[in-house]
Amino acid sequence: MEFQFYMPTRVITGEDCIRKNKDAFRALGTKAMIVTGARSAKANGSEKDVTEALKLADIEYVVFDKVMSNPTIACVYEGAAAARKAGADFVIAIGGGSPMDAGKAIALLAAQDISEDDLFKGQYENKILPMAFVPTTAGTGSEVTPYSILTNDKAQTKTSIATPLLFPALAFLDGRYTKDLGITTTINTAIDALSHGIEGMISVKANPVSDVLAKESIRQIGECFKALKEGSLTAAHREQLLYASMLAGVVIAHTGTTAVHSMGYSLTYFKDIDHGRANGLLLAEFMKFTAAGRPDVIESIITAMGYKKLEELEKDLEELLGAKEAITAEEISKYSSIAIKAKNIGNCPVVPEEKDLIKIYTESFGLSV
């Protein structure tokens, strides 16, 4: 058995964990830049808990609250310039995947000069501002991954900066911040985490530890499906989803994602479909495609979720996702030609060709072939 496992992020969980562990910020620096979206971090109490902890720890801070969903390259350059101007020496990102991914790119760009042309090339100096993350959606697992995914207009898709430098030093998981997350975002983000666990098991880079974590993440999300469908989530379910999302993040930190994410990026870029929803719409058909060559992997995923057949998962996903968006054959053809070029296609054990992606999109949206 030959594999490597690396997870440098210190994960701290539990109610009020930020204030209880305020001294952990001291090891990161003396002036923080807090990176958030426009509203939610202020509304759910997470930003206040962070700023109070910083005051108690005698640490200065500035706030950059301009991160939009699916952050742009311009946004992270603006954030990095603001961090430099303020003299921030570490970053605290609070929010869903968007502020967390933006926080990573800001921390990198504030520490070194990288041109837009070189941003996704993977060649960086060994310098980055240290980071602490507070996830407030339960989906992306960005708090424990080495990826920052940005909207890339030149490539007309979303592209990731991937380097171990992007692992945050600290992640605080407090389920209370997700309490008022609307049901649609809760479902979409839970499906994103599920997709990470499933794609992680399918990936050719899966290893024995990532499989253990993926199965547990998938099992925990499966346990929440009934409450998600009924919109009857308790605080305990919310905590469970946040935990499962973190586990699935550790999984993709090792395995990467697969064609589901590559294909989903076009749905987000061109049709403004939420990231997790985009994955959920494509997941079952991609699993059917993979089952033709690797039925064993698909069977163990289905078993981990507590199902007997893939069709049961497909039915639950359809119920959770509701009516699907309209899509044309021309759109499918364009998206497939973009997705086939993505790096994570190489992680698929049954490597799809462009015509296979066309089929997966077509079947996923119920278009007649």
Binding site for Zn ion (CB under 5 A): 192
Burial annotation 20-51 (CB, 10 A radius, 16+ → b, else e): ebbebbeebbeebbbbbbeebbeebebbebbb
Options 79, 96, 175, 352; binder of ligand NAP; rule CB under 6 A:
96
HSE value, Cβ hemisphere, 13 Å, CA-based, for 235? 6
**Using CB distances below 5 to 8 A depending on partner kind, what does residue 362 bind out of Zn ion, ligand NAP, none?**
none
Cβ closer to Zn ion: 110 or 151? Answer: 151
Pick from 9, 136, 217, 255: which binds ligand NAP (CB under 6 A)?
136
Q: Which of the ranges 27-35, 126-134, 140-148, 329-337 carries the binding residues for ligand NAP, by CB under 6 A?
A: 140-148
Part in contact with ligand NAP (CB under 6 A); list of ranges 135-143, 214-222, 305-313, 331-339: 135-143
C-alpha span between 66 and 200 (Å, rounded): 32
For residue 93, which of 32, 138, 9 has the smallest C-alpha distance?
32
With a CB cutoff of 8 Å and minimum separation 6, the contacts of 213 are: 200, 247, 248, 250, 251
For ligand NAP, which is the closer residue by CB, 158 or 254? 158
When asked if residue 39 is in the footprint of ligand NAP (CB under 6 A), the reply is yes
Residues 233-272 that bind ligand NAP (CB under 6 A): none
Beta-carbon count within 10 A of 1 CB: 4
Q: How far apart are CA 204 and CA 290, in angstroms?
A: 12
Cα separation, 131 vs 352, in Å, equals 37
Nearer to ligand NAP, 96 or 280 (CB): 96
- Least distance to ligand NAP from the beta carbon of 19, Å? 18
Using CA of residue 210, residue 212, residue 216, residue 221, what is the dihedral sign? positive
* Residue whose entry in the numeric block shows the structure tokens 């807090």: 34
Q: Look up residue 273 and give its two tokens.
A: 């479909």
Residue with the CB atom nearest Zn ion in the bound state? 192
Residues of span 320-359 touching ligand NAP by CB under 6 A: none
Interface positions, 147-206, toward ligand NAP (CB under 6 A): 147-149, 158, 177-178, 180-181, 185, 189, 192
Question: Where on the chain is the footprint of ligand NAP (CB under 6 A)?
Answer: 37-41, 44, 69-70, 95-98, 101, 136-137, 139-142, 145, 147-149, 158, 177-178, 180-181, 185, 189, 192, 275-276
